[in-house]
Amino acid sequence: MTSAGEHALAVHPAIDWDRAAATIAATGRTRIANFLTEPSARRLHQNLASREDWRHVIGSGGKAFEIPATAYAALAVDTRTTLETTLHREATSSFRYRYDTIRVPEATPSFGVAGDPLRQFAALMNGAAMLDRVRTLIGDDSVALADAQATRYRPGHFLNRHDDAVAGKHRRAAYVMGLSRGWRAEWGGALAFLDDAGDIAEARNPGFNTLDLFLVPSNHFVACVAPYAGEDRLAITGWLRATGAP
């Protein structure tokens, strides 16, 4: 994936794939601990924690509004307060979200991996061996690619309930590669799954070097990060899709 082999990301060799497949078959979701080797996970975390090309995205009324995260932070306090108050009012009863993102373009099969751990992770997820593994895990031979974006949730960031099923996007499963060290449950940010009655069936705290994989559709949300959270909730997320449709 890169000319410098020692810098390539690597999947941990001791993963119990059979156990993960059995869990997905039974519940529609699984968490794989220690998905990458420790050096790979550490390098990926360090890269995301130090990047400055984050974009702040707000989902409101079926539209996504984006601005460089640095520019959003530079807005007048009154402006940010008005935007956030409006968003919170809408989020009480509608699908809304707010977080930072860095998207990985799908322009080339290599994802432009040289020197960029985020793109290296996207390339790893799109490797033939990993796609074969995923097809077996979820029992779906139609999976053809995995898209990817880094996400950063800071205090006040959230993602309301949804199921990821969008017409024309051919999503078969979703994944969340957790890269949060030392996260405390009271800081919020949990990935929570809902049952048919709308109650929480399972909630998973942000983890480090964990891969959450779940079938689409699955009703879920990311709980709002508390104002006293001691670090950013960092992850790489994406969907495993049947075609190259955007």
Mean pLDDT of 79-108: 91
The token duo for 241 is 């899709």
So what's the pLDDT on residue 64?
87
Computed over every residue of the chain, the mean pLDDT equals 92
pLDDT of the residue at 2: 38
Q: What is the mean predicted confidence (pLDDT) over 151-172?
A: 95
Q: Could you tell me which of 189, 176, 152, 162 has the C-alpha nearest to residue 72?
A: 152
Say which residues have a Cβ less than 8 Å from residue 17's Cβ, sequence separation at least 6: 133, 136, 137
Q: What is the pLDDT of residues 204-244, one digit of tens each?
A: 999 999 999 999 999 999 999 999 999 999 999 999 999 85
Percent of the chain with pLDDT over 70: 92
Q: pLDDT band for position 113 (50/70/90)?
A: low
pLDDT value at position 63? 84
**Residue 174, pLDDT score:** 98
Residue 176, H or E segment? strand 171-179
% of the chain surpassing 90 pLDDT:
87
Q: pTM value? A: 0.93
